[in-house]
Amino acid sequence: MKVLVTAATEPEIKPLINWLKEEVTINGQIEVEVMITGIGMFSTAYHLGKYFAKKRPDLAIQAGIAGSFQHSWPIGETVVIEQEVLGDLGVEDNDQYKDLFDIGLWKADMAPFTHNYLPNTSPDFGLRKARGVTVNMVSGSAATITRLEEKYQPDIESMEGAAFHYCCLMENIPFLQLRTISNYVEVRDKSKWNIPLAVTNLNNTLRSILQTIK
């Protein structure tokens, strides 16, 4: 079985990379390739497109740390994203944000969307399921956070998730998006973040999943 593991930045999955240097194959049958796509949707889509044009993994995994809108979810928890929406692709109309579905440039349920979101039905490996929103600018103001919460009811925010879902769905490649909570989506205060814990837990989860799949 061939597995592609992607991340926006190397530090997010550095422990996994170090582990894979010792584990050429996992359980004697899982071959893992790692790709760092860079930050954001454009870079993610570009690198995945080039990769999928040449190779078709049996499973693609996107892994990263992220902010959570759910303050009851503990920092350090890893979740699996079952739905992704685009949070800032649209227009402003008299101080109201409308996405491409709202203004009719995209039609609901057009491939690969289900209604207005990009779904994933892969196994959850016992992790909490979450709804993701992908943005070009990480939210740090009360107005932006309120807009996203009222319109999309997201649990997790990232800058790459929707691009990953879109590419995998269009190419019909099984996929899994893992996000570990490093902070809450709120007015920015990095003193409350715990990136080391999130990175540790993310990589422990990745190792566990890679040792479980067959």
Give tens-digit pLDDT for 126-176: 999 999 999 999 998 999 999 999 999 999 999 999 999 999 999 999 999
Query: What b/e sequence results for 10-44 when a residue is b if at least 16 CB atoms lie within 10 Å of its CB, and e otherwise?
Result: eebbebbbebbeeeeebeeebebebbbbeebbebb
Query: What topology is assigned to 2-212 in CATH?
Result: Rossmann fold (3.40.50)
pLDDT at residue 52, rounded to an integer: 98
Residue numbers in the chain where pLDDT is lower than 50: none
> Phi and psi dihedrals of 129, rounded to 5?
-85, 140
